[in-house]
Amino acid sequence: MKKLICFLLTALTVAGTLSCKKDPKPEDEVQAKSVTVAEFKAAPISDTEVYELVGAIEGSINTTYGNFDLRDITGTVYIYGLTATNLGYGTKNDKSFDSLDLEEGDIIRIRGYRDAFEDKIEMAYAWLVEKLSANK
């Protein structure tokens, strides 16, 4: 419903000056709440709260969009689209994941938003903060 309202408001606004996406901020301006996977999964869905997770890439990876599972000692969560930089909430994926040189087993620090799709908890609109160790 929220997306429909945003679409309608944008369509009705002259020259589309009203936008529902959140503009990205430089890394040093983004306030992120550092949590475990279990804490992230227990949090409510939000398009404003930015969470930071640290974990290992696990399972198969969609290298076009950056979709994969992230595991820490408390559990696993699905990452729905990891990009090289903060593009902002609601922004189309820029397909920059492949440039990050990440693979299964790498330990990374990422930021993004708590979301869900068909009752499956996920981190969406995520971006890489840093690669902590490689699986090599």
Per-residue pLDDT of the chain (136 residues; tens, 9 = 90+): 444 334 333 333 334 433 444 555 555 567 999 999 999 999 999 999 999 999 999 999 999 999 999 999 999 999 999 999 999 999 999 999 999 999 999 999 999 999 999 989 999 999 999 999 987 5
What was the pLDDT predicted at 19? Answer: 40
* CATH code of the domain in which 35 resides: 2.40.50.200
Specify the 3-state DSSP secondary structure of 12.
helix
CA distance 44 to 124: 13
What is the residue range of 31's domain?
22-133
**Do 19 and 10 form a contact (C-beta atoms < 8 A)?**
yes
> Count H helices, E strands: the chain?
2, 6
How many domains is the chain built from?
1
pLDDT of 79: 98
Is there a domain that residue 52 lies in? yes
Supply the pLDDT for residue 28: 53
pLDDT of residue 24: 58
Residue 134 pLDDT = 80
Q: What is the reported pLDDT for 8?
A: 35
Residue 12 within a domain: no
